[in-house]
Amino acid sequence: MSSTLDRPALGEERGFWGAAMAVLRKDLLAEWHTRERLSTMVFFVLLTLLVFNFSFELGGAALHQIGPGVLWSAFVFASLFGLHHTFAAEQENNCLDALLAAPVSRGAVYLGKMAGNLLFLLVVELLALPFFALFFNLSLEAYLLPLLGVFALGAGCLSAVGTLFAALCSNLRLRELLLPLLLLPMVAPVIISCVGTTAMIFQERNPEEYFPYLRILGVYWVLFSALSLILFDHVVEE
Amino acid sequence: MSSRLSGLFAGLVFLSMGLALYMVFIYAPTEAQMGVVQRIFYFHVPSAMTSFLAFFIVFITSIQYLRTRQEKWDQLALSAAELGVVFSLIVLITGPIWAKPIWGAWWRWEPRLTSMLIMFTMYVAYLMVRAYGTRPLQTRRLAAVLGIVGFVNVPLVHFSIELWTPEQQLHPQQVSLDPHMAYTKYASNLALFCFFFYLLHWRCQLEKGSRLLAQLRRQAEALLPEEKR
């Protein structure tokens, strides 16, 4: 999987950031070759929107009430796919062992993987947004900028905890089932804050009103990125 | 703990339980507005405090386990997590029983109740990780990581739900209790804390015993000739 990587010359060492970038580059390249993760995630979001539309008869007045919840439910469930793939893909041919045997900090591996998940999730959110607008006859121009901000924060929080938990679950039996069980209660503050903020953006409220939510998202992101960076070593240790 | 000390502790649990039950049902006056159902308070609130204590112990022992890798911390974490789940289940059962006549509904999506439910699901997932691990040493490390991350999340869950439903804050924020009621609450707290530590001690002993047994079994199997294994 990593054969396409340009390896540093013998004796040359990558620093912490260089190693993280290398992991990120490897994941992006692998995804570029297969495009399996992005395509399934985007398609899943579309299908979720479809199912929710039949369940709630979205559109009209109901959309503003439950639209944000629908959007974020779709993102969170889609993120589970992407996150599971992060370490599941590495288990073929024991790639993970090789990755961990590299003489770089484990924190750098976490950071690279986390950045990859963050990017994938952001791309999925951006690709799904036009469909959301199209299906439910919503003109998004006025909301676009604040929405992008919430998307970035939400994706950051989801990938910070999600990457750690994906690594954790890759060592367990029933890993596909356990990842949602662990992650969903854990990201409850993220879901609440993102849905709350998105709803307020659609209602064209003053940004000051949703600032408390953004503060929770910011604290969550910083706190769990730092904690995951410290704890990742214990998760992948052999 | 020696058996004599353990017996003394059991006596203390028995006495404090008896005292608490006497105070809850006979000594404490009946609340004027809520009536007799309010007496569930003396089980509900101390159980909540005990479950918080249990999860705090999981947090501390998880840190200690990752630092020192001594098995005793892991045994404590597992035992405390199991007990914490049991006590939070008591909170989640007694809460709705109390809420039905007072709030008019079994369940309201109210900050404290919702936080408790999310915390409960988080630690049930923790126990599942314990159950579905493949290698014991690895599973202990993973559980310790989860015990730390999960506890740090608790205040964030609470703050976010408080923002979500500010008008729904149904739990009283400040309670001034009649002295009789306050003493009864202290007695209930004391009884449940004693009971918790007593159970924690024995759950740890059980875990220690079962791990020793598993180890002996492996050693015995290794001694058997190949065809009898």
Average pLDDT over every residue of A20-35: 88
Inter-chain CB proximity A164 and B145 less than 8 Å = yes
**Whole-prediction pTM value?**
0.89
Chain B residue numbers touching A189 (CB-CB < 8 A): 153, 156-157, 159-160
Chain B residue numbers touching A185 (CB-CB < 8 A): 118-119, 121-122, 125
| Of the candidates B81, B73, B77, the residue with the CA atom closest to the CA atom of residue B120 | B81
Instruction: Quick: pLDDT tens for A81-132.
Output: 889 888 888 887 788 888 888 888 889 999 999 999 999 999 999 999 888 8
Residues 6+ positions from A60 with CB-CB distance below 8 Å? none
Q: How far is A153 from chain B (nearest CA, A)?
A: 15
Please say if the pLDDT value at position B1 is more than 70: no
Backbone angles phi, psi at B133, to 5 degrees: -70, 155
Structural domain boundaries of chain A?
Answer: 16-236
Greater confidence, B171 or B49?
A: B49
Which residue from B121, B148, B159 is facing A185, i.e. has the nearest CB? Answer: B121
Work out the mean pLDDT of chain A and round it to a whole number: 86
pLDDT band at A206, cuts 50/70/90?
Answer: confident
Q: What is the pLDDT of residue A58?
A: 65
| Of the candidates B56, B64, B63, B61, the residue with the CA atom closest to the CA atom of residue B88 | B56
**Torsion B195-B198-B200-B203 (CA) sign:** negative
Please say if the pLDDT value at position B208 is more than 70: yes
> What ipTM does this complex have?
0.86
Residue from B115, B156, B164, B167 to probe the interface with A (highest A Cβ count within 10 Å): B156
Residue that is written with structure tokens 């999987």 in the block: A1
Greater confidence, A204 or A150?
A: A150
DSSP state, residue B35: B
Interatomic CA distance for residues B64 and B60, integer angstroms: 6
The angle formed by the CA atoms of residues A100, A166 and B113, to the nearest 5 degrees, is 145
Chain A residue numbers touching B146 (CB-CB < 8 A): 168, 182
Q: Which two tokens stand for residue A183?
A: 């992650």
Residue that is written with structure tokens 């386990």 in the block: B65
Q: What is the pLDDT of residue A92?
A: 79
Q: How far is B164 from chain A (nearest CA, A)?
A: 7
pLDDT band at B55, cuts 50/70/90?
Answer: very high
Inter-chain CB proximity A223 and B122 less than 8 Å = no
pLDDT band at A6, cuts 50/70/90?
Answer: low
pLDDT band at A11, cuts 50/70/90?
Answer: very low
Interatomic CA distance for residues A209 and A202, integer angstroms: 13
Using a CB cutoff of 8 Å and minimum separation of 24, what contacts does A209-213 make?
Answer: A212/B163, A213/B160, A213/B163
Q: What is the pLDDT of residue B110?
A: 82
User: Which A residues in the span 186-225 are in contact with B, Cβ-Cβ below 8 Å?
Assistant: 186, 188-189, 192-193, 196, 212-213, 216, 219-220, 223-224
Chain B residue numbers touching A224 (CB-CB < 8 A): 149, 152
Torsion angle, CA of B42/B46/B51/B55, rounded to 10 degrees? 170
Average pLDDT over every residue of B43-70: 95
Query: What would the DSSP string read from start to end of B90-145?
Result: HHHHHHHHHHHHHHSSS----HHHHHHHHHHHHHHHHHHHHHHBSSHHHHHHHHHH
Instruction: Quick: pLDDT tens for B93-140.
Output: 999 998 888 888 888 888 888 889 999 999 999 999 999 988 889 999
pLDDT band at A1, cuts 50/70/90?
Answer: very low
Q: Chain B contact for A13, CB < 8 A?
A: no
Q: Are the C-beta atoms of B48 and B91 separated by less than 8 Å? A: yes
Q: What is the pLDDT of residue A59?
A: 64
Please say if the pLDDT value at position A16 is more than 60: yes
Chain B residue with minimum CA distance to A231: B145
Kind and range of the H or E element at A84? helix A61-88
DSSP state, residue B28: S
Chain A residue numbers touching B160 (CB-CB < 8 A): 188-189, 192-193, 213, 216
Q: Which two tokens stand for residue A226?
A: 């730092």
CA atoms within 13 A on the CB side of B181: 16
Average pLDDT over every residue of A24-52: 89
Q: How far is A232 from chain B (nearest CA, A)?
A: 9
